[in-house]
Amino acid sequence: MKRRFKILAMVIGSALTLPVLADEASDYVAMAKQVVQQASTDSAAAFSLPKGPAAAKDKTVIFIASDLKNSGVLGVMKGYQEAAKVIGWQVRVLDGAGSVPSQSSALKQAIALQPDGIVIGGFTPNTMIPTLRQAHKLGIRIVSWHATPEPGPIEQLYIEDNITSSADDVAKVSAMYAIAKSDGHANVVILTDGLYSIAVRKADVMKSYIEKCTGCSVLSYEDTPLANTSARIPPLTFSLVQKYGDKYNYTLAINDLYFDYMAPALRSLSGKKKGEGPYNISAGDGSESAFERIRNGDFQVATVAEPLNLHGWQLIDELNRLFHDQPISGYVTPAHLVTAENIHQSGGDRNLYDPENGYRDYYQASWQVK
Q: How many domains does the chain have?
A: 2
Q: CA dihedral defined by 246, 249, 251, 257, rounded to 10 degrees?
A: 70
Are 241 and 116 members of one domain? no
Residue 83, in any domain of the structure: yes
Whether 154 and 172 share a structural domain? no
pLDDT at 5 over 50: no
Co-location of 154 and 66 in the same domain? yes
Residue (of 72, 295, 284) closest to 173 by Cα position: 284
State the pLDDT confidence band at 41, using cuts at 50, 70 and 90: confident
The band of 46, judged by pLDDT with boundaries at 50, 70 and 90, is low
pLDDT digits (tens, 9 = 90+) for 62-79: 999 999 988 889 999 999
Closest CA to 317 of 46, 55, 45, 48: 55
Residues 272 and 187 in one domain: yes
Give the gyration radius of the chain's Cα atoms.
22
Mean pLDDT of 6-27: 46
Q: At what angle do helices 22-39 and 167-181 cross, to 10 degrees?
A: 120
Residue range 211-236, pLDDT digits in tens: 999 999 999 999 999 989 999 999 99
Q: What pLDDT score does 270 carry?
A: 75
- Confidence band of 14 (pLDDT split at 50, 70, 90): very low
- Residues 176, 217: one domain? yes
Do 196 and 68 lie in a common domain?
A: no
17 pLDDT band (50/70/90 cuts)?
very low
Q: Do 212 and 275 belong to one domain? A: yes
Q: Would you say residue 197 lies in a domain? A: yes
Classify residue 118: in a domain, yes or no. yes
Domain residue limits at 146: 60-164+309-330
Q: Are residues 176 and 267 in the same domain?
A: yes
**DSSP readout, 146-187?**
SSSSS-EEEGGGTEEEEE---HHHHHHHHHHHHHHHTTS--E
Task: Return the bridge partners of 221, or none.
Answer: 190
Q: Could you tell me the maximum CA-CA distance found in the chain, to the nearest angstrom?
A: 80
Query: Is residue 16 predicted with pLDDT exceeding 70?
Result: no
Q: 48 lies in a domain?
A: no
190 lies in some domain: yes
Contacts made by residues 39-43, CB under 8 angstroms, sequence distance 24+: 39/173, 39/304, 39/334, 39/335, 39/336, 39/337, 40/336, 40/337, 40/339, 40/341, 40/342, 42/336, 42/345, 42/346, 42/355, 42/356, 43/334, 43/336
DSSP string spanning 271-300?
A: T--TTSSSEEEESS---HHHHHHHHHTSS-
Q: What is the pTM of this model?
A: 0.84
Query: pLDDT > 70: what percent of the chain?
Result: 93
Angle separating helix axes 129-137 and 100-112, nearest 10 degrees: 10
Residues 207 and 320 in one domain: no
CATH code of 83's domain: 3.40.50.2300
- Co-location of 180 and 39 in the same domain: yes
Residue 275: pLDDT above 80? yes
Average pLDDT over residues 306-327: 96
Does residue 104 form part of some domain? Answer: yes
Helical residues (DSSP H) of the chain, grouped into ranges: 22-39, 71-87, 100-112, 129-137, 167-181, 197-211, 229-244, 257-267, 288-296, 308-323, 359-367
Residues 252 and 319 in one domain: no
Q: Is the torsion defined by CA of 27, 181, 283, 231 positive or negative?
A: positive
Q: CA 69 → CA 66, 97, 107, 111, 303, distances in Å?
A: 9, 8, 18, 23, 18
- Does residue 61 surpass a pLDDT of 90? yes
Q: Do both 66 and 158 map to the same domain?
A: yes
207 occurs within a structural domain: yes
Give the contacts of 57 (CB within 8 A, at least 6 positions apart). Answer: 88
3 state DSSP class of 192: strand
